[in-house]
Amino acid sequence: MILLVSPIDVEEAKEAIAGGADIIDVKNPKEGSLGANFPWMIKAIREVTPKDLLVSATVGDVPYKPGTISLAAVGAAISGADYIKVGLYGVKNYYQAVELMKNVVRAVKDIDEDKIVVAAGYADAHRVGAVEPLIIPKIARDAGCDVAMLDTAIKDGKTLFDFQSKEILAEFVEETHDYGLKCALAGSIKKEHIPILKEIGTDIVGVRGAACKGGDRNNGRIDRELVRELKELCK
Ligand SMILES: O=C[C@H](O)COP(=O)(O)O
């Protein structure tokens, strides 16, 4: 299982790399769960990340504005991101989500067809009025995305498993794989969740809080030893 760790700056990225993270996911918690960081930060983190590691960038907890988000996705791609992650926060249904993600896929793949597009839903979508989480695999498939992901929208300590059962998540992973896509799961994941995620077969686990000192995703800093422990559990 691949470990994705979400730094906010170059120093944290170096800690994540030193700890053995497989994907360096540039994020800005000040702007939300999948808050977008700045183009220059994506570029700077790409420059310090070994070429054999992928850099991911979130373009935000996005509204239903396909043009705006397509432009943001291109910005992330040309800034150096290999993975472009879109948080489907302001889309209400399948049709809006597919329309938005189809345009993002077209925009990103026009830049470089090897770039990877991630459709990210929220396990706690009901708390923010976002699109139903369990249709994310279909949305990703029908929009031409490469990865279907679940995260949590509100970072209040509740985890992915407070909103979706292990059985439901296993079905989510299986359906995603049936469509030939990769699956990523996140949402205040703790060390003790890693074996469960391995068991249900997700390809990628995304973490920030658990990799930060004190478990605080907003005020804590990523620590290489915490990343190392998470990486060992992913093996
Ligand atoms: O993929 C990244 C997730 O947003 C990780 O953040 P979290 O572990 O603090 O929930």
Tell me the pLDDT tens digit for each residue of 135-182: 999 999 999 999 999 999 999 999 999 999 999 999 999 999 999 999
Is the shortest distance between the CB of 85 and ligand 1 below 6 Å?
no
Smallest CA separation from ligand 1 atom 10, residue = 188
Asked if residue 25 has its Cβ within 6 Å of ligand 1, the reply is: yes
User: What pLDDT, in 10s, does the model give residues 202-222?
Assistant: 999 999 999 999 999 999 999
Q: Is 193 in the pocket of ligand 1 (CB under 6 A)?
A: no
How many residues in total does the chain contain? 235
**Closest ligand 1 atom to 212 CA:** 9
Give the pLDDT score at 112.
Answer: 97
Q: Cα–chain-centroid distance for residue 187?
A: 9
Residues 160 and 193 sit within 8 Å (Cβ to Cβ): yes
Kindly tell me the number of DSSP H helices and DSSP E strands found in the chain. Answer: 9, 8
Q: Catalytic: 213?
A: no
pLDDT of residue 148: 98
Q: Which pLDDT tens digit goes with each residue over 13-66?
A: 999 999 999 999 999 999 999 999 999 999 999 999 999 999 999 999 999 999
What pLDDT, in 10s, does the model give residues 55-106? 999 999 999 999 999 999 999 999 999 999 999 999 999 999 999 999 999 9
| Pocket perturbation via mutation, ligand 1, pick of 188, 197, 204, 212 by most ligand atoms within 8 A of CB | 188
* Annotated catalytic residue 85: yes
Q: Which atom of ligand 1 is nearest to the CA of 34?
A: 4
ipTM: 0.96
Confidence (pLDDT) at 136: 98
Domain 2-234 CATH assignment equals 3.20.20.70: yes
Q: Give me the pLDDT at residue 125, please.
A: 97
187 CB less than 6 Å from ligand 1? Answer: yes
φ, ψ of residue 211 to 5 degrees: the values are -95, 0
186 pocket-lining for ligand 1 (C-beta < 6 Å): yes
On whether the CB atoms of residues 90 and 63 are closer than 8 A, the answer is yes
Atom of ligand 1 nearest to the CA of 33: 4
What pLDDT is recorded for position 40?
A: 98
Would you say the CB of residue 73 lies under 6 angstroms from ligand 1?
A: no
Mean pLDDT of all residues in the chain? 97
Interval 119-129 mean pLDDT: 97
Cα angle value 47/233/229 (rounded, 5°) = 60
Confidence at residue 1, expressed as pLDDT on a 0 to 100 scale: 96
Q: Is 30 in contact with 52 (CB distance < 8 Å)?
A: no
Could you tell me the distance, in angstroms and rounded to a whole number, from the CA of residue 5 to the centre of ligand 1? 8
- The pLDDT value recorded for residue 89 is 98
